[in-house]
Structure 1
Amino acid sequence: MITSDPPRPDRVTGRRHIAARVDDVVNALRNRLFRRRGWRPRIVPYTGYGSTHEVRLLARVLLAPPVTDRDPRMDAAADPDPDSTAARQRATRGWRRFLTTPIPAARVEVDVDGSTYHLVTDRRGYLDARIAVTLPAGWHDLPIRVDRGRPSRLRVRVVGDEPTLGIVSDIDDTVMITHLPRPLLAAWNTFVLRESARVAVRGMAELYRQILAAHPQAPVIYLSTGAWNVAPTLTRFLARHGFPEGPLLLTDWGPTNTGWVRSGRQHKHDTLRRLGRELPQVRWLLVGDDGQHDPQIYDDYAAEHPQQVLGIAIRRLTATQQALTTTATHRAPAPHVPTVRGKDGFALVAALRAAGLPPR
């Protein structure tokens, strides 16, 4: 059985916003032009998650130039070996990720435990589907195909039915520093060409690894307002700096049915609520920074669902980083859940232990 997603803000009835209509017209013209030039569908798989009875599959289908096995532009996601380091390094980086065109209503097939599911992408080429399954806890690689395109695999993290701890982590200024003002941060994260140009926050990878050492079944979710286009680059950055593997839940920067852009803040609010519905057995440690809206978003969710929040850990930005942050927030800790603060991962480890929270 295939289950529909909860309604998104851009899924509305009635007349669509001019932004969406213009975007659809331009995309249709690009599809016709590039197909005449021999461009083919390419699957960009994203890491999904779910329970033993239902999983969320995430991917995108794009038109891209035809490639060969020796072409350095070959998308790592299309490599038949998803664990191949060489394949990851071949993945297209930075601005090249935007030289593709989404394929709306693309029909894809996904194989799960002997059954084949027939799914369709949305107007921006995204596949975001929940399907009923019977899968054991752990990691699974699910074959996915599209007509005339290179097959790939969807990586899915299945969380067991027993109560467990989980981590929801922000990315920018929480695990990664770019030393740029917020107005430039999004553009930098989108168009930077090398992972080495980004700096990991001290001790954050060690914090997450320590928690997983004590709670090996804990899922790790990376929640960010960054664009889906840079998911492969962010995945390589996290792996390179020793962060645990986990789904990235990002957003689409394209026009919506209600406006030109989506609200990043609403994206985080909605995603936390969705995780609470889909994985009710998990109590989350919410990790973010005080440079923008994380404290308020986490406090609001903890107030709504205190039984699903184990604690809140906020990385305290330096004075320089605060000066570059245009929307810094200064809030008192939420009274309903333990909240700790620290300048980096090492300080947060000590603060969490002092509060009686993992790692311990």
Structure 2
Amino acid sequence: MPFSDIARAAEIQLSRNLIPSLKAKGWRPRVIGYDGYGSSAPSTTGMHNPGSPMARVLARMLMRPANAPAEGPLFRSIPRELPTTPERVREIAVDTLMDAQRGWRQLIDVPVPYLPVTIRVGGVSVRTRADRAGYIDVVVRDHGLGPGWHDVEIDAAGAGTVTTRVRIVGPGERLGIVCDIDDTVMVTEVPRALIAAWNFLFKNASNREAVPGMAQLLARIEDAHPDTPIIFLSTGPWNAVPTLRSFFAHNGYPQAPKLMTDWGPSATGWFRSGIEHKRTELRRLMIDLPDVTWLLIGDDGQHDPLIYSEVVREHSNRIAAVAIRHLSQKEQVLAGSQIAHPMGLGYEARTLAEADVPVVTGGDGFELARLLPSWIVGGHADQAGGWASGPAEG
């Protein structure tokens, strides 16, 4: 038996052994809901398989103390004025407490495997079970919901009913955005292990550094294309989602589903492949949302140029543009990157350079906005970070 299988079995057995002890201390199963996505009607383009309306519901079953703060998909902006009601004071206090939660506590999770759940989306109910790591990843068909954000109920045995949400994308051709997180919207200097570990394990969300101009770029595209679905795709762990929510709210990033991964032993090795995670999710988005043409945003510190070049080669008609944040020389060194040219080196650089889609590189969101086609950004950023409404070349 491979060592990774032994480690995986030990991980599962450890969780099972801990659950009775935690129950005796007053801990109970809790549903941690994540934002999902879906479609509201069959594809309107003849080139795609129409399928049926779908909603992808994401959650995890974990053991939590009875008095632990809520971890639902809250998304509140940082207050710019003093609170005027007791309820608002309590909301801010909870947000601040969650923001101050150290990352290392998020890694000490005890999943509840195989917990029975009932999922209600619109007028449809689906019964299922969590997997052996406590995850729920379920597609609900023919839900009857229209475009926009909708509440979804998850009723888990012993955990009660919680509400999470899905972003339903309307029919018709439209622009969508897939955006990386690490070193694209948030400076993490991944994959340098010590720096990445320090950022994730010990720094509060409000203290992490945002990449300049990226929040403004995404907001500008949303203004120009109000029905644009945004998906954040990361190799980071699902455990980080509560902290990421605080970071995104604090720095003005739009609310959007986050597709993360699960760290730890898998059926194929000691650690799950981040590259395969991104490849799989991108291919799934092509199938789940067939009318969407995607803007892919990433950075050249890891594998985004390689992954995006593969998508461009396989689905060039589904890619509106590719935007790669070029790390500074210091960031390249800290990240251990082998890429020295703004377009990268080797196969991925040639594929992107030869692609029949616009490909731009820049040091931050403002520079990327100046280089992206004007129809995408609805105008271009000037050197001071402001926006011009006139047309731009490209």
CA distance, structure 1, for counterparts of residue 104 and residue 169 of structure 2: 34
Measure how far apart 1:216 and its partner are. Answer: 0.5
Whether the 8 Å CA contact 1:19–1:257 is kept in 2: the answer is no
Instruction: Verify: 1:215 aligned to 2:225, yes or no.
Output: yes
- For residues 163-185 of structure 1, the C-alpha deviation after alignment (integer angstroms, 9 at most, x for no partner) is 11011100111111135662235
Letter in 2 for 1:275: L
Partner of 1:58: 58
Calculate the TM-score normalised by the size of structure 1: 0.88
Partner of 1:267: 277
Measure how far apart 1:19 and its partner are. Answer: 2.4
Partner of 1:203: 213
Q: Secondary structure at the match of 1:287?
A: strand
Instruction: Verify: 1:314 aligned to 2:324, yes or no.
Output: yes
Measure how far apart 1:186 and its partner are. Answer: 4.2
Instruction: Verify: 1:98 aligned to 2:107, yes or no.
Output: yes
Instruction: Verify: 1:349 aligned to 2:369, yes or no.
Output: yes
Q: Secondary structure at the match of 2:372?
A: helix
How has the CA–CA distance of structure 1 residues 180 and 20 changed in structure 2, closer, same or farther, with 3 Å as cutoff?
closer
Percent identity between the aligned chains? 42
What is the aligned counterpart of 2:26 among 27, 32, 38? 38
Moved more, 146-155 or 309-318: 146-155
Letter in 2 for 1:278: D
Q: Secondary structure at the match of 1:161?
A: coil
CA distance, structure 2, for counterparts of residue 174 and residue 16 of structure 1: 31
How has the CA–CA distance of structure 1 residues 111 and 194 changed in structure 2, closer, same or farther, with 3 Å as cutoff?
same
Q: Secondary structure at the match of 1:238?
A: helix
Moved more, 180-189 or 166-175: 180-189
CA distance, structure 1, for counterparts of residue 14 and residue 71 of structure 2: 28
How has the CA–CA distance of structure 1 residues 90 and 184 changed in structure 2, closer, same or farther, with 3 Å as cutoff?
same
CA distance, structure 2, for counterparts of residue 221 and residue 174 of structure 1: 13
Whether the 8 Å CA contact 1:82–1:153 is kept in 2: the answer is no
User: Equivalent residues in 2 for 1:152-301 (5 A)?
Assistant: 152-179=162-189, 182-301=192-311
What is the aligned counterpart of 1:74 among 69, 72, 89? 69
Measure how far apart 1:31 and its partner are. Answer: 1.7
CA distance, structure 1, for counterparts of residue 289 and residue 116 of structure 2: 28
Whether the 8 Å CA contact 1:224–1:250 is kept in 2: the answer is yes
Whether the 8 Å CA contact 2:188–2:196 is kept in 1: the answer is no
Moved more, 298-307 or 91-100: 91-100
Measure how far apart 1:211 and its partner are. Answer: 0.5
Measure how far apart 1:324 and its partner are. Answer: 0.6
Which protein shows a greater Rg?
A: 2
CA distance, structure 1, for counterparts of residue 120 and residue 75 of structure 2: 16
Letter in 2 for 1:347: E
Measure how far apart 1:89 and its partner are. Answer: 3.7
Q: Secondary structure at the match of 1:102?
A: coil
Measure how far apart 1:290 and its partner are. Answer: 0.9
Measure how far apart 1:56 and its partner are. Answer: 0.5
Calculate the TM-score normalised by the size of structure 2: 0.81
Instruction: Verify: 1:112 aligned to 2:121, yes or no.
Output: yes
Structure 1: 5+ residue stretches without partners: 1-14, 68-72
CA distance, structure 2, for counterparts of residue 296 and residue 185 of structure 1: 24
Partner of 1:9: none
Letter in 2 for 1:244: P
- For residues 82-102 of structure 1, the C-alpha deviation after alignment (integer angstroms, 9 at most, x for no partner) is 768535444354122233310
Structure 2: 5+ residue stretches without partners: 41-52, 77-87, 380-394
Q: Secondary structure at the match of 2:248?
A: helix
Q: Secondary structure at the match of 1:200?
A: coil
Instruction: Verify: 1:338 aligned to 2:358, yes or no.
Output: yes
What is the aligned counterpart of 2:5 among 1, 4, 17? 17
Whether the 8 Å CA contact 1:109–1:118 is kept in 2: the answer is yes
Q: Secondary structure at the match of 1:174?
A: coil
Partner of 2:384: none
- For residues 51-109 of structure 1, the C-alpha deviation after alignment (integer angstroms, 9 at most, x for no partner) is 11101100000011221xxxxx412319xx87685354443541222333100001122
CA distance, structure 2, for counterparts of residue 194 and residue 291 of structure 1: 23
Whether the 8 Å CA contact 2:75–2:255 is kept in 1: the answer is no
- Provide the aligned length of Structure 1 versus Structure 2: 339
Q: Secondary structure at the match of 1:128?
A: strand
CA distance, structure 2, for counterparts of residue 193 and residue 119 of structure 1: 37
CA distance, structure 2, for counterparts of residue 326 and residue 45 of structure 1: 34
